[in-house]
Amino acid sequence: MLLSEFAANAGLKYELSEIMRKKSLPHAIIIEGAEGTGKKTIADIIAQYCVCASDGQRPCGVCKSCIKAKEHIHPDIVYADGQQSKALSVDSTRAIRSSAYIVPNEAPMKVYILLNCDKMLAPAQNAFLKILEEPPKNVQFIMTVKSSASLLQTVRSRSRIFSLFPAEIDDAVDIVSKRFPERDISEIKDIAEVCDGNIGMTLQMLENGGQEAQKLAEEIFASILLPSEYPLLKSIQQLTSDRTFAASVLDFMTEIAAECVKASVGADVSSKTAAAVAERYSKNRIFAVSENIIYARKVLNTNVNLNLFCTWLCSVLRS
Name the site residues for Zn ion (rule: CB under 5 A): 52, 54, 59-60, 63, 66
Contact (CB, 8 A) for 30 and 160 = yes
Q: Name the minimum Å distance from CB 70 to Zn ion.
A: 10
Q: What is the dihedral of CA 16, 19, 20, 25, to 10 degrees?
A: -100
Residue 9 vs 65, nearer CB to Zn ion? 65
To Zn ion, the closest distance from the beta carbon of 108 in angstroms equals: 12
Q: At its nearest, how many Å lie between Zn ion and the CB of residue 54?
A: 4
Instruction: Identify which of residues 52 and 192 has a Cβ nearer to Zn ion in the complex.
Output: 52
How near is the Cβ of 159 to Zn ion at its closest, in Å?
25
CA 281 to chain centre: 33
**Nearer of residues 70 and 243 to Zn ion, judged by Cβ:** 70
Least spacing, CB of residue 46 vs Zn ion, in Å: 13
Residue with smaller CB distance to Zn ion, 30 or 52: 52
Nearer to Zn ion, 138 or 163 (CB): 138
Nearer to Zn ion, 58 or 158 (CB): 58
The set of residues, in sequence order, having a beta carbon less than 8 Å from that of 263 and lying 6+ positions away, is 269, 274, 275, 277, 278, 279
52/142 with CB nearer Zn ion: 52
Shortest gap between Cβ of 66 and Zn ion (angstroms)? 3
Name the minimum Å distance from CB 71 to Zn ion: 13
- Contacts of 33 by beta carbon, 8 Å cutoff, 6+ apart: 39, 146, 163, 164, 165
* Complex with Zn ion: residue 7 or 66, whichever CB lies closer: 66
Name the minimum Å distance from CB 61 to Zn ion: 6
